[in-house]
Amino acid sequence: MQSETTNAPFLILGGTGKTGRRVAERLAARGLPVRIGSRAAAPAFDWDDRSSWPAALDGVRAAYIAYQPDLAVPGAADTIGDFARLSVGLGVKRLVLLSGRGEPEAQRSEEAVIASGADWTILRCSWFAQNFSESFMRDMVLSGEVALPVGDVGEPFVDADDIADAAVAAFTDDRHIGQLYELTGPRLLSFRDAVAEIAAASGRDVRFTEIAPADFEAGMVSAGLPADLVALLMMLFTEVLDGRNAQVADGVERALGRPARDFGDFAKAAAASGAWGEAR
């Protein structure tokens, strides 16, 4: 059963990832205990090894669910539903789910968490700004060319710090129970626009090139990326980034009572931190 003491930790699945790391850091800064859910942690947590789930959940007060590799992959909703039901059965009712906009499988995962009987909060997010600074696109920025199979569709890039702030708010304030927040940035940018802002902020000569999906896929295969990751990225770029998410939402302001962080501010801060080379 869930411990009711203040020493009961928050379980952060994906606790070393872009959002989970930030959630864990914020909770720890408040003096709140954290348990990282990963294969390298003790107790270990592995999405593919369900026997590891009960030990990771034992004694925790709440869980942040960031699914790997992504909620968009087939079968993710069934796994999320099983995890949510197990959590509630073990007394861990407060669940915060990291979800994605415009992804049918992600929406099925949301429905599974809601149906589990949990005290839930859904964070349905647009494309992370930090994908340019902490993910595979960082290497593209450093190479001087961001080559992707996406046109001039607008995307309201969301800052991972806003996501983490919303997750911590959901954990620490009962007003967020039963809320679905669509988290986006405050304006639409094309990937070309985003790269131009990164170039201006970093002082690097970086350009955006739209390439054919087949060329993008061939490049990932030649780079040795796993087949499941290749399939996921192809789906995201050729299906989800089709304009279905080209709207700004008010989730950050609803959750936090302040405006969402702008992509330009992200780019300046990332450049100042040395994300793309010498700090500026």
> 50-99, pLDDT tens digit by residue?
999 999 999 999 999 999 989 998 899 999 999 999 999 999 999 999 99
- Domain locations along the chain: 10-129+158-184+247-258
> Is-contact 72 103, C-beta < 8 A?
yes
Q: Percentage of the chain with pLDDT > 70? A: 98
Q: Characterize 133-164 residue by residue with b for buried, 16 or more Cβ atoms within 10 angstroms of its Cβ, and e for exposed.
A: bbeebbebbeeeebebbbeeebbbbbbbbbbb
Model pLDDT, residue 175: 98
pLDDT in tens, 154-163: 999 999 999 9
CATH number of 10-129+158-184+247-258: 3.40.50.720
The model's confidence at residue 4, banded by pLDDT at 50, 70 and 90, is very low
Bond from prior residue into 43 cis (ω within 30 degrees of 0): yes
Model pLDDT, residue 279: 65
CB within 8 A of 279, min separation 6: which ones?
Answer: 271, 272, 273
| Angle formed at CA 69 by CA 8 and CA 128, multiple of 5 degrees | 85
| Angle formed at CA 150 by CA 143 and CA 122, multiple of 5 degrees | 100
